[in-house]
Structure 1
Amino acid sequence: MTTATAELAAFLRTRRERLDPRDFDLPVRRSRRTPGLRREEVAELAGVSVDYVVRLEQARGLRPSAAVVEALSAALRLTDGERAYFFDLARQRPRGTGEPATTAEPSLARLVDDLSPLPAMLLNHRFDILAWNGEMARLLLDFGTLPPSRRNAMWLCLLHPEIREYYVDRERVVREGIAHLRAAWAAHPDDPVLTALIAECTGGNEEFARLWAERDVRGTGRAGKVLRHPGAGVIAVDFEVLVPLRDSGQRLLIGRPADEASRAALRSCAGSPG
């Protein structure tokens, strides 16, 4: 697993190389040997020295200030998720205190049950499943049959032999899952369990390793997935991720049917009358 400094360097290089000089009204000369903008061009856009950009991209021990991170984010035209990732790598975002949550906060566990008949579950920052209701178990898997170390939404999505085949658009789901996981690691680089999870996925799955190297970043939020349920057929579900103000280390994931056919399929899946 790479260090945050080395990751910051690689991240900046990949973002710079993805940019098209024509979008910045810069000349596209044949002398350009590498894709994207030159370091000199990024430095000018961000208002920093070329040497500073070189040292950042070579992981030479710099810790950019919040102002520099903001300037480089604008110069590189980072998305909101990529910008947050950059701030995390530079250690410029406020961090929570205490150990990661490993058990569900009781009131949130009750809320998960109260959300029935909507499928819902409670996760921590590394996507460990802390609580779930019956609808979520019937939609995906009875998590209670898994050892605690395997009750992880990302591991299930990416590596579980049955669950990973549920998704109709599996490549997109895997790509988004890896982007979520990368954002989580940047915010918690010292979490050994999260680091071990990423190492296991990288070493055990070529697809994961390839997509991880692309350094796509995405924060948690709403997302739509189409599931191929073995009993209820195709179900399109919109998932919403909410972060409680008092328990910001835990995340509430709620699924809602995306259309009427999926609503009927969810009812069938849950064993409810149509």
Structure 2
Amino acid sequence: MTRAMDRTQELAAFLRSRRESLSPNDFDLTSRRRSRRTPGLRREEVAELAGISIDYIVRLEQARGLRPSADVVEALARALRLNPDERAYLFGLAQHRPRNTDKPSTAAAPPLARLVADLSPLPAMLMNHRYDILDWNAEMARLLLDFDTLPPPRRNSMWLCLMHPGIREFYVDRERVVREGIAHLRAAWATHPDDQALSDLITEFIGHDEEFARFWAERDVKVNGRGHKTLRHPEVGMLTMHFEVLIPLQDPDQRLLIYRAADEQSQSALDRLSDH
């Protein structure tokens, strides 16, 4: 393996570059007043900020064959004030999966809300990893239901599928839709261990819906980003929709769901729905 492709060497170089790019004046450090011959933080200062021994920092920056644990990588990312992209890069170099430390989205990012509106006449809505519905366009409201009539805590697509009387019979292949939703929630639960609201939601579903409890116990895990659903709409009858779920790079906790008619009959039904 060449030097340019060596992860250990790149990890060392990346840590040095981030350390040297920081201003000591931005930190409350015991050694800040000492004279400096080089820019940036000293290794002992990074060690102090990260709670790691100086010797370990030296060995990492000298590429001496260490593979830091996920805890050490997280401590270094915080000490070096890495942005989300830099943090993900550091975790990748250390061959660990980044931990999700962002607070779950509870409101639509404004650019994504504008995109949802601009996607008309395609039905579209924005959700977070919990399936909380953050924003939607008029076409999606006509296709599913008027989300404005629901209290915010109930604007959740899994809750609607399980508990809402008008939606329980809406999906022709309801069992598959529920199973896929549960498999997604299990994946989200694993990657968001500190999201108490998600844990509470799952606990509620297990306690109040026998079907959910049975499928949850099967421990299927799958993030489903593409597929189709056949819907039994009370106003325009049967229609089949292709769906695509997109995750924006700048707002990775938000998911953009877009529906498209799967055939001419379904498109005709959508057109009639828009005329209502």
* TM-score normalized with structure 2 length: 0.64
Deviations 1:42-87 (A, max 9, x none): xxxxxxxxxxxxxxxxxxxxxxx99xxxxxxxxxxxxxxxxxxxxx
Deviations 1:232-262 (A, max 9, x none): 1001001100001111111100000011100
Match of 2:181 among 177, 183, 207: 177
Query: Secondary structure at 1:162's aligned position in 2?
Result: helix
Identity of aligned residues (%): 68
Taking the aligned partners of 1:234 and 1:128, their CA distance within structure 2 comes to 26
- Equivalent pair of 1:158/1:177 in contact (CA under 8 Å): no
| Structure with more contact order per residue of length (Cα contacts < 8 Å, sep ≥ 6) | 1
Structure 1 position 96, deviation (Å)? 3.4
- Equivalent pair of 1:239/1:256 in contact (CA under 8 Å): yes
**Correspondence 1:201 to 2:172:** no
Match of 1:164 in 2: 168
**Correspondence 1:247 to 2:251:** yes
How many residues get paired?
Answer: 184
Taking the aligned partners of 1:195 and 1:155, their CA distance within structure 2 comes to 14
Taking the aligned partners of 2:190 and 2:175, their CA distance within structure 1 comes to 23
Taking the aligned partners of 1:175 and 1:96, their CA distance within structure 2 comes to 24
Deviations 1:146-168 (A, max 9, x none): 00000011111222221121011
- Equivalent pair of 2:184/2:224 in contact (CA under 8 Å): yes
Match of 2:128 among 124, 128, 133: 124
Amino acid at match of 1:256: R
Taking the aligned partners of 2:113 and 2:256, their CA distance within structure 1 comes to 10
Match of 1:237 in 2: 241
Taking the aligned partners of 2:99 and 2:255, their CA distance within structure 1 comes to 16
Query: Secondary structure at 1:118's aligned position in 2?
Result: coil
Match of 1:133 in 2: 137
Match of 1:154 among 146, 158, 179: 158
Match of 1:102 among 78, 86, 106: 106
> Post-superposition, which runs of at least 4 consecutive aligned residues in structure 1 deviate over 6 A?
none
Residues 20-169 of structure 1 correspond to what in structure 2 (within 5 A)? 92-169=96-173
Taking the aligned partners of 2:169 and 2:97, their CA distance within structure 1 comes to 37
Taking the aligned partners of 1:237 and 1:194, their CA distance within structure 2 comes to 28
Identify unmatched segments of 5+ residues in structure 2. 1-68, 71-95
Structure whose alpha-carbon radius of gyration is higher: 2
* TM-score normalized with structure 1 length: 0.65
Q: What is the RMSD of the two structures over their aligned residues, measured on CA atoms?
A: 1.7
